[in-house]
Structure 1
Amino acid sequence: MDTRTSERRAGDLRLAAGIIALEFAAAVSTFVASTLLPIVAAELGARERLGLLIAGGTLGLFVAMPLAGTVLRRLGAGRTLALGTAYYTGGLVVAATAQQAWAFALGQFTSGVASGLLAVFGISAAIRRLDERLRLKVVAASSAMWILPAMVGPAATLALEHAAGWRWTLVAPVPVVLAGRFLVVRAVRGEAPTDDGQRLRPAGLLVPAGAAAVVLADGVWPVAVAGAVAAVGGTVALLPAGTARLGRGAPSALAAMVLFGAGYVGADSLITVLLTDDYDVSLARAAIVLGAAPLMWGLTSLVVARVGPERQVPAAGLALTAAAAAVLAAGPREFAVALIAWAAGGAGVGLAYPGLYLRATTAAPAPGRPLPAAELATAVITAETVGGLLGRAGGGALASLDDGTAVAYGVFAVLLAAAALAATRSRAPAVRPGAAP
């Protein structure tokens, strides 16, 4: 192995380590935000505005996606790190000191924009640079980064909230988040700027605009429906041709990613609200259920990575998660039932996600125009982010209605079932002998 190859390999390993560290930081932040949601909603008098509380950060992330490549090319990694750090910290301070729901959402939105500036570039670089084997290990290790936060995060969050209040607890993950971002920026520092396909397309603006309309509709359903239609139209325009038609291979995998993001991320963001309101359990017990799904996701992903994701059936895993959401929507209102169901849902994601992610980021060796790596990089980030945004916005809007949380979980179950159907077409078609490449 020559020096250049050795340096390239070392750089790839640093990038992989940075992405894994960033995933750990994201897990810590997610558990803090989800655990605190019922407390924040009560403190700000925003039980009827849940969508506003939970969708702000994802809206900011999506707005940042088409800008990340341009900002990094013009400012460089160092200045982008400084800008992202300032905006991320400032946004969290605004959210932590907010007295109204809109101020909290504005702070989360600002932090989300800052997160997107670095996270999108790091994931794109991983898809572009890392080989399939190392990329799969990164996916499995990233899933494992949710295990420790899932085990101790909710309990530690509640303990810190009891001691210092929710406002100080909200900013507690800042050092971990900044450390993860610093590792990613160092890993890609010095890399020549590339065109990752992250151009600002007008149709793409329909997604955050439509989701914002859903969040801000405030019970005016014609506005919410129009926003949902606009967001779906923008999603179709952003993703590669064939995604909406469930074309074999990567297009169907990307469609499944969108539906998975909407169903699972939406459900996970509201789990503490569902349990404290509909199941009438304490926040401490709800936090146990909150940690069950990502814990099982991480453990199952580790097993799948060793066995081989292509031996698994992503559709079966997603179907299991859909069944779990259906139980939460319509099953017995018992703590044990919720705990078992959501743990099983996390195991389903662990079975499905590694193989589905690999299929979504692998161009099919089929006749015709294959999807280039840069387009797949942008597409897979877009698919999962759009799905999560729509799930949070739509689920929050439904949950704000009387008895709407159970209805939201019914919708999440349908979306996950649709993801399972899309996943049945996610394996790339085999190339017939003698077919033109």
Structure 2
Amino acid sequence: MRSYRPSVTLTAPATTPRPRLLSPAYAVTTVGMFALCALVAFEALAVTTVMPTVADELDGVGLYALAFAAPLASGVVGMVSAGAWSDRRGPAVPLVASLVLFAVGLVVCGTAPSMEVLVAGRVLQGLGGGALTVGLYVLVGLVFPAVLQPAVFASFAAAWVLPSLFGPALAAWVAHAIGWRWVFLGAVALAAAAGALVAPALRRVGTTAAGEPTPRSRLAWALVGAAAVLALDAFPPAALVVLLALRQLLPAGALLARPGLPSVIGTRGLMSASFFAAEAYIVFVLEENWGLSAGIAGLALTGVGVPGQRPARSSPGSASGSRTPR
């Protein structure tokens, strides 16, 4: 009896295309998150460029340092609170709240009648900006697959570099053309537009919990540390309270630079503190001591922001008649 063998056709298994950041499923969210990071970075550089003008007009040079310390200190509180909130309820509500808080801070700064009010607005900016950063990081873990997450974080890094190319010059032009207040107020519309792009992703994640609950003591120590930083100018011994708060917030051994993760975190903290301190004062010195315009002085920030590029050294100008902020 003749037997027949069924014919078998071998076909290659269907392969799932590799997801991309700008594929239809992720494009809007990617652009929105990039825009939010770029907005925070642009605002930081823009404010640094025009702050000497602001302090001069509001007769608040004595509060110049506090205008930069305030958002950095409150930013820690925003980060800790947003992290704890996201762990319990997911990132949607914390991210929206942080964006609103950041925008309110911009409005307060843009309408400030005095330097004291502007510093208060900077506190709100720091709370919102710090919380916004954490909310975006949590959102990345919930929205994007693991294979795309490194690319998302790389785009965040690019979002901090890109504004350095045009942020200082644009801020100087805005301050000269229509006034420094619009450096703050003009960013409110940009924040609303970027938030609208991220909104669909926030609706999808809803109230999904993102991790283990954060101890409430962390928030308490963040508040204590922020208050101590703000009190340093009037009460230098508050530095001891700052160190105590950092000891509670950082991994064990970070302040002693113990090998491993503690030394990495401690070193990065020192580098960041040095960088932001120098960045805050370099424009002030260039404008007040050397008499440069805000646009020219802002080029120093552009040079720092471009990878691999260093500003050229010049001989210092006369310091006669200069005003040094406390």
TM, length-normalised to structure 2: 0.77
Tell me, which stretches of 5 or more residues in structure 1 are unaligned?
218-222, 301-320, 335-398, 402-437
| CA deviation after TM superposition for structure 1 residue 105, in Å | 1.0
| Matching residue of 1:333 | 316
* Cα distance change on mapping 1:188 and 1:57 into 2, 3 Å: same
Q: Distance in 2 between matches of 1:177 and 1:267?
A: 27
Q: Does residue 297 of structure 2 align to residue 286 of structure 1?
A: yes
Q: Could you tell me how far apart the structure 2 residues matched to 1:55 and 1:113 are?
A: 12
Residues 47 and 150 of structure 1: CA distance in aligned 2, closer, same or farther (over 3 Å): same
Deviation per CA, 1:331-380: give whole Å up to 9, x if none.
7316xxxxxxxxxxxxxxxxxxxxxxxxxxxxxxxxxxxxxxxxxxxxxx
Task: Name the counterpart of 2:284.
Answer: 273
For residues 400 and 185 of structure 1, what CA distance do their matches in structure 2 show?
41
1:122 to 136, 153, 171: 136
- Shift of residue 76 of structure 1? 6.4
Contact residue 18 and residue 187 of structure 1 kept, 8 A: no
Alignment partner, residue 143 of structure 1: 157
Select which of 266, 270, 273 maps to 1:259. 270
SS, match of residue 103 in structure 1: helix
The residue matched to 1:145 in structure 2 has which SS? helix
The equivalent residue for 1:160 is 174
- Which residue in 2 is equivalent to 1:406? none
**Code of the aligned partner of 1:286:** A
State the SS of the aligned residue for 1:291.
helix
More helix by share: 1
Amino acid at match of 1:233: L
CA gap of 1:185–1:112, structure 2 versus 1, over 3 A, is farther
1:71 and 1:117 in contact (8 A); partners too: no
2:182 matches 1:199: no
Q: Tell me by how many angstroms 1:91 deviates.
A: 2.3
Measure, in 1, the Cα distance between the counterparts of 2:202 and 2:266: 29
**Contact 2:107 2:188 survives alignment (8 Å):** no
Residues 19 and 265 of structure 1: CA distance in aligned 2, closer, same or farther (over 3 Å)? farther
State the SS of the aligned residue for 1:65. helix
1:242 & 1:132 partners in 2: Cα distance? 31
- Separation in structure 2 between the aligned mates of residue 172 and residue 243 of structure 1, nearest angstrom: 40
Shift of the 56–244 alpha-carbon distance from structure 1 to 2, 3 Å rule, reads closer
Using the size of structure 1 for normalisation, the TM-score is: 0.59
Deviations 1:55-111 (A, max 9, x none): 232233222223214545777655545544443333222211112111111112123
CA 1:198–1:61 in 2, change beyond 3 Å: closer, same or farther? farther
| 1:295-347 Cα shifts (integer Å, max 9, x gaps) | 236xx8xxxxxxxxxxxxxxxxxxxx9xx8xx98xx7316xxxxxxxxxxxxx
Cα deviation, 1:193-252, whole Å, max 9, x if unaligned, reads: 12355433233333202111114x1xxxxx12x222211221121111232332333222
- 3-state SS of paired residue (1:88): helix
Post-superposition shift, 1:128? 8.2
**Alpha-carbon distance change, 151 to 210 in structure 1, aligned in 2, over 3 angstroms:** same
Q: Is the 8 A contact 2:89 2:209 kept in 1?
A: no
Cross-structure match for 2:240? 229
Residues in 1 aligned to 2:297 and 2:83: alpha-carbon distance in whole angstroms: 39
Q: Is the CA contact 1:77–1:185 (under 8 Å) kept in the aligned structure 2?
A: no
Q: For 1:140 and 1:269, locate their aligned partners in 2 and report how far apart those are by CA, in whole Å.
A: 25
Distance 1:93 1:194, change over 3 A: same
Q: How many residues align?
A: 303
Equivalent residue, structure 2, for 1:36: 50
Whether 1:400 aligns to 2:325 is yes
The answer (yes or no) to whether the contact 1:21–1:183 under 8 Å persists in 2 is no
| Match of residue 170, structure 1, among 154, 170, 184 | 184
SS across alignment from 2:131? helix
The 8 Å contact of residues 16 and 138 in structure 1, kept in 2 or not, is answered as yes
Query: Are residues 148 and 64 of structure 1, via their aligned partners in 2, closer, same or farther at CA, if it must alter by over 3 Å?
Result: closer
What SS does structure 1 have at the residue aligned with 2:241? helix
* Aligned CA distance change for structure 1 residues 14 and 257 (closer, same or farther; 3 Å): farther
Task: Give the CA RMSD over aligned residues.
Answer: 3.7
Question: Does the 8 Å CA contact 1:68/1:198 hold for their aligned counterparts?
Answer: no
**Alpha-carbon spacing, 1:186–1:268, altered in 2? closer, same or farther (3 Å):** farther
Q: How does 1:370-385 map to 2 (within 5 A)?
A: none
